[in-house]
Amino acid sequence: MTEPAAPKKSPPVDDHIVREGARYEVIHGRLIMAPPADEPHGRAHTGLAYVLAAHVTDAYAVALDMLTRTSETNDFAPDASVYPTARSESGGRQLEELAFEIVSQQSMSVSTDKARELTRRGVRRVFCILVRKARVLEWSRETDDWTLMSDDGEIDDRCFARPLPIRTLSIRTMVDTASTDGAVVAALRARGALRELEEQSRAEGRADALRDAIRSLAAVLDLDVDEAHLASLDPDALDALRLHLERERRWP
């Protein structure tokens, strides 16, 4: 009796059948042209990269238009992918955990085929941004279809330092408004990426205040101020100079 054949192992995600840099993808064995983006699609692409890069933790990376081999007959590039920075056991990249598609003028059928293939390969979550309708969808394994996400909702995921607001993925707010910038700043703060900058800003503010105090003291004492020397001093040195002026009423 012949034993059943073992299931065929999927090829590595970075073992491509499409030449990198080519404007083609392979979906179900069919060669499909990936046309250049129109303006709305291009702006959505830029905005998506902006918010994703700010929100991912240090354990993840964001890539745009990165080819993913999902099977023997599928090799295509989501508009954006979020994947682990750690390498696979073979030394290649790991499969993305989140994938994003942007639909402007093209048919939804291509994005739907991609979503099915990506989830079959093991991608945890797949999203689709409908540019002209200003809507965001998430693929459902249970219904084998897209589900509409609330404009007031969030994408809460382990890849992100804080939940990503759905409103930041709308072309109406993605690039132009303060709400998107605010979400990016909040994400950077959650990652600790702003801590050094904020500490530096506080130190610079303290140094400026101390320089002003020293200038005022020097004016009262009728002393000339060496601005180049003041500019070279850090806050601690400036404070020491201020105290010396108050006590000795002259320059050191």
Q: Where are the domains of the chain?
A: 24-193, 196-248
Instruction: Look at residue 240 and give its three-state secondary structure.
Output: helix
Distance separating alpha carbons of residues 89 and 67, to the nearest angstrom? 19
Contact 67, 20 (CB under 8 A): yes
Extract the tokens encoding 114: 């991609």
Distance separating alpha carbons of residues 54 and 187, to the nearest angstrom? 6
Of 68-72, 81-85, 235-239, which one has max mean pLDDT?
81-85
Residue 175 has pLDDT above 60, yes or no: no
> Which conformational region is residue 219 in: left (phi greater than 0), alpha (psi within -120 to 50 degrees), or beta?
alpha
In DSSP terms, 27 is beta-bridged to: 30
Q: How confident is the model at residue 147 (pLDDT cuts 50, 70, 90)?
A: very high
Look at residue 173 in the predicted model and tell me its pLDDT. Answer: 55
In terms of pTM, does the model score above 0.85? Answer: no
Q: How confident is the model at residue 8 (pLDDT cuts 50, 70, 90)?
A: low
Q: How confident is the model at residue 246 (pLDDT cuts 50, 70, 90)?
A: confident
Rounded alpha-carbon distances, angstroms, from residue 161 to 39, 46, 150, 164, 245: 30, 20, 21, 9, 48
Return the closest-CA partner of residue 112 out of 83, 76, 82, 84. 76
Contact 41, 34 (CB under 8 A): no
Residue 5 has pLDDT above 50, yes or no: no
Tell me the angle at which helices 195-220 and 235-248 cross, rounded to the nearest 10 degrees: 20
Q: What is the DSSP letter of 239?
A: H
Contact 192, 168 (CB under 8 A): no
To the nearest whole percent, how much of the chain has pLDDT over 90? 39
Under CATH, what is the fold of the domain 24-193?
tt1808, chain A (3.90.1570)
Rounded alpha-carbon distances, angstroms, from residue 31 to 28, 105, 144, 210, 243: 9, 19, 24, 67, 75
Contact 104, 134 (CB under 8 A): no
Return the closest-CA partner of residue 46 out of 217, 223, 171. 171
Rounded alpha-carbon distances, angstroms, from residue 19 to 68, 123, 235: 12, 23, 56
Q: Specify the pairing of strand 125-130 against strand 98-103.
A: parallel
